[in-house]
Amino acid sequence: MIEFEQLASPSQLPPPQLPGSGESQNGYEGSRADRRARRRLAIVAIAAVFGLLGGILGASVAQDLNFGVFGESPESTTQITSAPVVVASGDDLVGETAISKVAERLANSVVTISTVVDDDSGGGRAVGTGVVLTSDGEILTNAHVVEDAAEVVVRFAGETEPREARVLASDPGNDLALIKVNATGLIAATFAKPGSVRIGDTVVAIGYALALDGGPTVTSGIVSALKRTIETDSGALNSLIQTDAAISSGNSGGPLVNLKGEVVGINTAVARGDFDSAANNIGFSISVDEVLIVIEQLRDQAKGVERIEGFLGVGLAAREDGGQGAIITNVQPGSPADKAGILVDDVVLAVDGEPIDGQAGLVAAIRDAAPGQTVKIQIFREGKRLVFEATLIARSK
């Protein structure tokens, strides 16, 4: 009533004509008390009218709603409850993406590898991934996937039973291993041309992440960086591809491929954060440039050829000033480094044109070189860049 009175004040309404009010036909007359009484009666009357109108309108709306929702009109009910679900015809093949084509192409060339581990910790089971190299059963994987394995089995896509496999050769330093199953007619993966990978290239990681049932996991990303070097439990790994494609446990040994379906790397490790740092979507793959070299070394090793690593004869330390390279802390007398003229406190920047980002990078570069091989070592000394040639010798066991 108060709001209504404020919205339609008496000064805006004609004087009500009520019987027995004491008013004349000519206007507003009578005492102030009479006028107040007439005003209250007018407000009550107006409110009653609006209340009556509201009730009529409310009943009408409710009736309409009841008829529309609960009424017996078949036509109305059909319109609300039986609208068809829209389903694509599939003729345009929108879902046939480049990544789905890559996954389909590699489906028969990627296998799951299961091992029974027998080590000092009591053993157990492990699962990784492998890539088919040849139609007659050669398969490439990570060395750490088959490390200490007493039993190795492989299962192909679409098969329910595993096949026994044997380890032909393993290179823990480069984290690659060659295994073999007795088979013919397998579909071998295609490897990319060395040097063809570029930063920013779209790549796809394929592997049996977390040993989940139902086939390999497919993730995509880009090449984030090239020629990375990291230190692992097995040693230093160099010439790595860094990618933001998700790589998880079980992906080890699986391929990183380009949009042509060509293998550009073998997935090997991921960066993990700790209390002091965060790591997101940082995975590493052994580049095809390195993989193709090591495959031939593994094949030679499988034939009985002993693998001998190169030796330079220096001690190393990491730079702590934010600069690139590794610091020479010791040079063994008579070693290849000594004969080449390398000195203590020299900073090694590159070997054969490959940048050295730390002491692990130099260790890996020399390890991968063969005894008798001459390498060019770029040194930073007293503000100058110098190049020395060193002929490596065999590392003693």
277 pLDDT tier (thresholds 50, 70, 90): confident
The pLDDT assigned to 80 comes to 63
The pLDDT assigned to 20 comes to 37
- pLDDT of 229 higher than 70: yes
CA distance 310 to 291: 18
Is 76 an annotated catalytic residue? no
By percentage, how much of the chain surpasses pLDDT 70?
Answer: 77
pLDDT tens digits along 314-325: 999 988 888 999
The pLDDT assigned to 86 comes to 85
Question: 3-class DSSP state for residue 55?
Answer: helix
The pLDDT assigned to 109 comes to 96
27 pLDDT tier (thresholds 50, 70, 90): very low
Contact 346, 381 (CB under 8 A): yes
- pLDDT of 96 higher than 50: yes
Q: Which amino acid is at 277?
A: S
The pLDDT assigned to 249 comes to 87
Strands (E), the chain: 110-117, 124-132, 138-141, 149-155, 163-171, 176-181, 202-207, 217-232, 235-243, 255-257, 263-270, 283-287, 310-311, 314-318, 326-331, 347-351, 354-355, 374-381, 384-391, 393-394
Average pLDDT of every residue of the chain: 82
Q: Which of these ranges, 61-65, 330-334, 342-346, has the smallest mean pLDDT?
A: 61-65
> What is the total residue count of the chain?
397
- pLDDT of 79 higher than 70: no
Is 213 an annotated catalytic residue? no
Is 224 an annotated catalytic residue? no
CA distance 110 to 266: 11
Question: Among 273, 289, 280, which Cα is nearest to 247's?
Answer: 280
Contact 352, 375 (CB under 8 A): yes
- pLDDT of 21 higher than 60: no
- pLDDT of 330 higher than 80: yes
* Catalytic option among 144, 224, 335, 357: 144
pLDDT tens digits along 115-158: 998 777 777 888 999 999 999 999 999 999 999 899 999 999 88
Contact 190, 261 (CB under 8 A): yes
- pLDDT of 175 higher than 60: yes
pLDDT tens digits along 350-363: 999 888 988 888 99
The pLDDT assigned to 338 comes to 96
Question: What SS3 string covers 102-141?
Answer: HHHHHCCCEEEEEEEECCCCCCEEEEEEEEECCCCCEEEE
* Catalytic option among 114, 252, 285, 287: 252
* Catalytic option among 109, 114, 171, 175: 175
Contact 253, 300 (CB under 8 A): no
Q: Which amino acid is at 110?
A: V
Contact 262, 308 (CB under 8 A): no
